[in-house]
Chain A
């Protein structure tokens, strides 16, 4: 501890003593401090504790996405009373609207399909995509526990999966696909199990402040009850005491242009996002105010598989990723040539699209569409066409005309790829070729235009392997505060791989919930 810091701590203690006004307090304090050794004291400005708490529970959980629900689940199972707070009118955050794939390396489904895989391989993929900025210890936990986490969703929650997907940047197909097709297929069973444990999310509850006492411990929260997004002053303040701990699972800031622009000035303003409107940074700001460390915030991921012809995430990813990345091609419309490995990680692909001035399309033929989607009734096809995102053409010539692509170049590109299919190896970009990849030659041809959108914020609060938040001055865990899911930073480094957020949020949510419930009570 530097002199200056020591000095400040002494100043605090003296103030406290004066406040308490007695020598007997001294013993108590000294004991308390010893009990908190190697944990951070509130050397940053401590908060005033409320004269009266409106409510008391063991564990306060902020946020009702994967991480928050998993934390609440483990805490309740361990016998803790839980207040589960959600600011929006519906629970689920980004999780409930998400794409429904979760990574598991070395899984039973892979074994059944003869796919060799291991946690080490997933870990390496995560670090490679993350440009080796990932905190190795955290990424390790996600990779090593990935199979156990998926198994937990099956055994404990009864989640149903329909098969494996191959997501960009992964060495092999390893991502379990939720049968119902979206994150709701996990959130709904999570909510149902929580209900059995007598925990229900309370909506319209906005976290305003984490209350950190001058002994350094987070002891509760100030929440606005009756909050109406986006008015941060709406609702009435309520003080909730957290006898054991607070778990911050408030998600990322993908829908907060002001905070985004602070981290990367190019990403402010009117850029579209795949995120829910409540994916904003006020909870993160409250955590920073309480002494958390913000790490890697300017790594903001753009999804490469979105379309400018519809809003938000939309239906494009199902086609662009699900169909064209494995069974079709992406081409630069100015050259008629491929410009990236369609199965590369997201950053590589989004950067390549941006470098081409977004003048790019993803396409597949009728056979490819059939292989890449479970849309046997073609219901989704109809919806994608009606929304204007998906275009259909009777021939490559027609497609080239409609998108201003040099037709002979386009045909040469398709021929080169078809030769690669024959050879069983992508000579141009080394793209992974599944055994069932076929030549592109059967009309109709389906096309989407590409335009990357804000998708994931890799940065957030620094945590350790127990999901404890670290203190900005001491770098020690902040007693009574856990952070999990997209609100934390460091797991994914520069770029998160597809299907790894689920694994991260559920794994660390559970870790946070267990540890929060096991934390010694202060009151």
Chain B
């Protein structure tokens, strides 16, 4: 139950982030994590220097991917969390950067005008 609540909370945060970015707010995802009491170690563990975070790690809190897909089902012209190109095109960090500006990875081939939080 508690876990479910946490997850709901996370989704809300995600939604807020989505709305915020649509409105043009320029904050980075590390701020969002910090503001929601997610410390560096929660993602990076104890390794020094910190290493890159794997998609499974992101999905541990934000996933599974199908749930994220449900969140963005209505995004036009197509759902960014449902790719026909397979799992390797569903790596979070292709688009989402936590410590820098995110990017619309799909746009290198497609005319999808996604605003990526």
B110 contacts partner chain A, Cβ-Cβ < 8 Å:
yes
- Given A276-B109, A310-B111, A311-B111, the answer on whether A96 and B88 have CB atoms closer than 8 Å is yes
Residue of B nearest to A181 (CB): B84
> Which 5 pairs from chain A and chain B are nearest by CB?
A184-B86, A188-B86, A90-B88, A184-B85, A277-B108
A-B contact pairs, 26 of them (CB 8 A): A90-B85, A90-B88, A90-B89, A90-B94, A91-B88, A92-B86, A92-B88, A96-B86, A96-B88, A96-B89, A180-B84, A182-B85, A184-B84, A184-B86, A187-B86, A188-B88, A276-B109, A277-B109, A310-B111, A311-B109, A311-B110, A311-B111, A312-B109, A312-B110, A383-B77, A383-B78
Q: What 1/0 mask marks residues of chain B from 95 to 110 whose CB sits below 8 Å from any chain A CB? A: 0000000000100111
Q: What 1/0 mask marks residues of chain A from 490 to 518 whose CB sits below 8 Å from any chain B CB? A: 00000000000000000000000000000
Q: Report B-chain residues with C-beta under 8 Å of the C-beta of A97.
A: 85, 109
B91 contacts partner chain A, Cβ-Cβ < 8 Å:
yes
A294 contacts partner chain B, Cβ-Cβ < 8 Å:
no
B87 contacts partner chain A, Cβ-Cβ < 8 Å:
yes
- Given A89-B94, A90-B94, A386-B77, the answer on whether A191 and B88 have CB atoms closer than 8 Å is yes
The B-contacting residues of A in range 293-351, CB under 8 angstroms, are 310-312
Residue of A nearest to B105 (CB): A89
Q: Report B-chain residues with C-beta under 8 Å of the C-beta of A188.
A: 86-88
The interface size bin for chain B is: 10 to 19
Distance in angstroms between the alpha carbons of A90 and B105 in the assembled complex: 11
A387 contacts partner chain B, Cβ-Cβ < 8 Å:
yes
Distance in angstroms between the alpha carbons of A96 and B85 in the assembled complex: 6
- Distance in angstroms from B83 CB to nearest chain A CB is 9
The B-contacting residues of A in range 169-203, CB under 8 angstroms, are 180-182, 184, 187-188, 191
Decide: A387 and B77 in contact? CB cutoff 8 A: yes
Distance in angstroms between the alpha carbons of A86 and B54 in the assembled complex: 18
Q: Report A-chain residues with C-beta under 8 Å of the C-beta of B77.
A: 383, 386-387
Q: Report B-chain residues with C-beta under 8 Å of the C-beta of A92.
A: 85-86, 88
Q: Report B-chain residues with C-beta under 8 Å of the C-beta of A312.
A: 109-110
The B-contacting residues of A in range 34-70, CB under 8 angstroms, are none
Residue of B nearest to A188 (CB): B86
Distance in angstroms between the alpha carbons of A421 and B88 in the assembled complex: 45
Q: Report A-chain residues with C-beta under 8 Å of the C-beta of B84.
A: 180-182, 184
Q: Report B-chain residues with C-beta under 8 Å of the C-beta of A96.
A: 85-86, 88-89
Distance in angstroms between the alpha carbons of A182 and B86 in the assembled complex: 10
- Distance in angstroms from B87 CB to nearest chain A CB is 7
Distance in angstroms between the alpha carbons of A312 and B111 in the assembled complex: 10
Residue of A nearest to B94 (CB): A89
Q: Report A-chain residues with C-beta under 8 Å of the C-beta of B87.
A: 188
Distance in angstroms between the alpha carbons of A180 and B86 in the assembled complex: 10
Distance in angstroms between the alpha carbons of A180 and B87 in the assembled complex: 13
Residue of B nearest to A386 (CB): B77
Q: Report A-chain residues with C-beta under 8 Å of the C-beta of B110.
A: 311-312
Q: Report A-chain residues with C-beta under 8 Å of the C-beta of B108.
A: 277
Distance in angstroms between the alpha carbons of A326 and B86 in the assembled complex: 29
Residue of B nearest to A277 (CB): B108
Distance in angstroms between the alpha carbons of A312 and B110 in the assembled complex: 8
The B-contacting residues of A in range 88-127, CB under 8 angstroms, are 89-92, 96-97
Q: Report A-chain residues with C-beta under 8 Å of the C-beta of B86.
A: 92, 96, 184, 187-188
Q: What 1/0 mask marks residues of chain A from 225 to 251 whose CB sits below 8 Å from any chain B CB? A: 000000000000000000000000000
Q: Report B-chain residues with C-beta under 8 Å of the C-beta of A311.
A: 109-111
Residue of B nearest to A314 (CB): B110
- Distance in angstroms from A105 CB to nearest chain B CB is 28
Distance in angstroms between the alpha carbons of A276 and B109 in the assembled complex: 7
- Distance in angstroms from B84 CB to nearest chain A CB is 6
- Distance in angstroms from B15 CB to nearest chain A CB is 24
Distance in angstroms between the alpha carbons of A191 and B88 in the assembled complex: 10
The A-contacting residues of B in range 34-90, CB under 8 angstroms, are 76-78, 84-89
- Distance in angstroms from B20 CB to nearest chain A CB is 26
- Distance in angstroms from A69 CB to nearest chain B CB is 12
Distance in angstroms between the alpha carbons of A276 and B85 in the assembled complex: 12
Distance in angstroms between the alpha carbons of A310 and B110 in the assembled complex: 9
- Distance in angstroms from B67 CB to nearest chain A CB is 21
Distance in angstroms between the alpha carbons of A304 and B94 in the assembled complex: 32
Distance in angstroms between the alpha carbons of A383 and B89 in the assembled complex: 20
Distance in angstroms between the alpha carbons of A310 and B112 in the assembled complex: 11
Q: Report B-chain residues with C-beta under 8 Å of the C-beta of A187.
A: 86
**Known interface pairs A180-B84, A311-B109; 20 further A-B residue pairs with C-beta atoms within 8 A, sorted by A's residue number:** A89-B94, A90-B91, A92-B86, A96-B85, A96-B88, A97-B85, A97-B109, A182-B84, A182-B85, A187-B86, A191-B88, A276-B109, A277-B108, A277-B109, A311-B110, A311-B111, A312-B110, A383-B77, A386-B76, A387-B77
